[in-house]
Amino acid sequence: MKYYTYFPGCSSSDGGAKAYGMSTEAVARALDVELIELEDWNCCGSTPYTSVDELASFCSSARNLALAEEKGLDLVTPCSACYVILSKTNSYLKEYPELRAKVDEALAAGGLEYHRTIKVRHLLDVFANDIGFDEIASKVKRNLGGLKVAPYYGCQVVRPGPSFDDPESPQSLDRLIECLGAEATPFPLKARCCGGSLIISEEDLALGLIRKLLDSASSNGAECIATVCPLCQTNLDVYQGKVNKKFKTSFKLPVLFFTQLMGLAFGIDGKTLGLEKCIVPAEKILTRYIER
Amino acid sequence: MEATKAQVTGTLVGEISSVPGGERIRLCIQCGTCSASCPNANRMDHTPRKLIAMARAGMREEVLSSNSMWLCASCYLCTVRCPREIKITDIMHALECLSVRENVSSARTLTPTMYRSFSDFVYSIGSVPEPSFMILFYLLTNPLRAMRMIPMAFSLLTHGRMSIKARRLKPEAERQFKAILDKAEELGGI
């Protein structure tokens, strides 16, 4: 059994990416990984907050780090957007003494201290590097043979780094998909941007980026896309219809969380994995693998 | 006249340099790798390379009122490619914060309002309930656009992807969170 402090983030806990949280927990159980949710965690700090009030964002992030430090375990999040902010705060508090002094003072107002001893990890890193591909392959009950999956990393899981994988041509998700028996298709845009939250304020711009991604995945033969981030999943799945309308395309690519694919291969039923929450239905391409 | 110009020049670059991640701005060699890497540079008033040049030339108003940094999606591609290891994404965030503080944010992009709606929720309850945040954003910008979002909202609801109830911290945790943020506010920024 391996233990971690778990930071689901707003979206995976009870938001639009609820299926990510559900499948993460189910897959972790199957792998003998105990994810202990950080009690009373707050918003990671988030890119929007960083762009409005940097100090407040660092402090918001640091409260989570301080609470996690009391447990002494690595802090794991499945959300790339949370990951980038929590890791940035963690490393900047070490690198910049003036920032540290201010954040320490703010934390003290809440009766907290942070000694900068914990590590922030992305779930993909934990599965790929702590659990390992052999262990994951050993849990496969239902080989996903023949399924063609585009491995989509997006940005913030590998950048700015230093990261557990290459910032522009990462491989860990490719390998993970293959150890489930599925085929990781070539995906030149695998680490390019989906637009993130700009889909809300700059929809036209983001739809253009999403279109390029869907095009790159489908023209390389993918039947579905696997993502490691709630924002990426939302943009590619929920807005796929808008892309089709705007660009007169006819994409029908299901967009799954990588944990949902793992769960399928482990023989976990579709409902537990939240498969029915995909807007572009995934059942059709997955019928041969779904346990009902 | 020249002295004033130099002073102003010192000011914006100095402010950016003092923000964590902004300290290497003076090392920029204007190679344009950032602009070539940026997925959104074509929609920006000024590309990232040019924005850095303008900031260094002390063009404070033009820089802070431009839409450029608000179109940054924080993909960090420029940051990992910069041959001078300048954290350009951090500089974009610093410019956004300055523009908010000075109340000169570009009116040609809705991103500042979107970010503020988001941050208001973080400050008041410590997390972001997606539906309420979206509704607030649309009310503040264009309620008519909200109408166009109804089919999508309905689809999210029927797929079990929209929680009406916001996640709340325990009262003592919320008080602690607020105390920390209020102290941050009192410290007057970074």
Starting at the edge strand found earlier in the chain, the sheet holding A120-122 runs A33-37, A2-6, A75-77, A120-122
Out of A54, A110, A202, whose CB is closest to B190?
Answer: A54
Give the minimum alpha-carbon distance from B30 to chain A in angstroms, rounded to a whole number: 20
* Residue B131 clears pLDDT 70, i.e. is over it: yes
All structural domains of chain B, each given as residue ranges with its CATH number in brackets, are 2-101 (1.10.1060.10), 111-186 (no CATH)
Q: Where are the domains of chain A?
A: 2-123, 140-286
d(CA B84, CA B122): 35
Q: Residue B3 above 60 pLDDT?
A: no
Please report, for residues A159, A283, A292, the alpha-carbon distance to residue B154 in angstroms, rounded to integers and kept in the order given.
34, 21, 26
pLDDT surpassing 60 at residue B9: no
Find chain A residues with C-beta within 8 A of B82's C-beta: none
Half-sphere exposure of A112 (CA within 13 A, CB side): 28
Chain position carrying tokens 């591909």: A133
Residue A37 CA to chain centroid, in angstroms? Answer: 16
How much is the pLDDT for B142? 85
Q: Tell me how far apart the alpha carbons of residues A194 and A211 are, in angstroms, rounded to a whole number.
A: 9
Q: Do A105 and B183 touch (CB under 8 A)?
A: yes
- Report the 10 Å Cβ neighbour count for B4: 9
Global pTM exceeds 0.90: yes
Total CB pairs under 8 A between chain A and B: 211
Domain A2-123 has CATH 1.20.1050.140: yes
pLDDT surpasses 60 at B2: no
SS3 of residue A65 by DSSP: helix
pLDDT, position A202: 96
Q: Cα-flanking dihedrals φ and ψ of residue A118, to 5°?
A: -100, 165
Q: Which residues on B lie below 8 Å from A161 (Cβ)? A: 80
Token duo for residue A159: 């950048």
Q: Is B166 left (phi over 0), alpha (psi -120 to 50) or beta?
A: beta
For position B1, what pLDDT does the model report?
A: 40
**What residue ranges of chain A have pLDDT lower than 50?**
none
Say yes or no for a CB contact (<8 Å) between A156 and B74. yes
Give pLDDT, residue B10: 47
A92 and B20: CB-CB below 8 Å? yes
pLDDT value of position A98: 96
Residue A254: what are its φ and ψ, rounded to 5°?
-60, 145
Per-residue model confidence as pLDDT tens digits over B164-184:
888 899 999 999 999 999 999
pLDDT at A291: 60
Which residues in B lie closer than 8 A to residue A112 (C-beta atoms)? Answer: 176, 180
Please give the Cα distance from B40 to B35 (Å, whole number). 9
- All residues of chain A having their beta carbon less than 8 Å from the beta carbon of residue B43 are 202, 205
Q: What is the pLDDT of residue B146?
A: 83
Distance, CA of A22 to CA of A289 (rounded, Å):
19
Residue A198: both structure tokens together? 């700009």
Give the 3-state DSSP-derived string for B72-137, with helices as H, strands as E and coil as C: CCCCCHHHHHCCCCCCHHHHHHHHHHHHHHCCCCCCCCCHHHHHHHHHHHHHHHCCCCHHHHHHHH
CA distance B1 to chain A (A): 33
List the end-to-end C-alpha distance of chain A, in Å, as a whole number: 28
**At residue B153, does pLDDT exceed 50?**
yes
Residue range B101-118: mean pLDDT, rounded: 93
- How far apart are alpha carbons B164 and A98 in whole angstroms? 41
Cα–Cα distance for residue pair B133/B120, rounded to 1 Å: 9
Q: How far apart are CA A154 and CA A152, in angstroms?
A: 6
Quick count: other Cβ atoms within 10 Å of Cβ B145?
12
pLDDT of residue B147: 85
- The residue behind tokens 């508090």 is A93
CB B58 within 8 A of CB B96: no
**Which helix (H) or strand (E) segment is A5 a member of?**
strand A2-6
* Residue B153 contacts residue A18 (beta carbons within 8 Å): no
pLDDT of residue B164: 81
pLDDT at B7 over 80: no
DSSP state of A77: E
pLDDT in tens, B61-106: 999 999 999 999 999 999 999 999 999 999 999 999 999 999 999 8
A85 in contact with B, Cβ within 8 Å: no
Residue A77 tokens read as 């999040």
Q: Across the interface, which of A52, A197, A198 has its CB nearest the CB of B100?
A: A52
Kindly write down the DSSP assignment for every residue of A79-91, as one continuous string: -HHHHHHHHHHHH
Whether pLDDT at B4 is above 50 = no
Q: Which of B23, B64, B72, B80 would best serve as a mutation to test chain A binding (most A beta carbons within 10 A)?
A: B80
Q: Is A100 helix (H, G, I), strand (E, B) or coil?
A: helix
Work out the mean pLDDT of chain A and round it to a whole number.
Answer: 96
Cross-chain CB nearest to A43 (options B97, B114, B122): B122
Judged against a pLDDT cut of 80, whether residue B6 lies above it is answered with no
Dist. CA B90–CA A248, nearest whole Å: 37
As its CATH architecture, domain A140-286 has 3-Layer(aba) Sandwich (3.40)
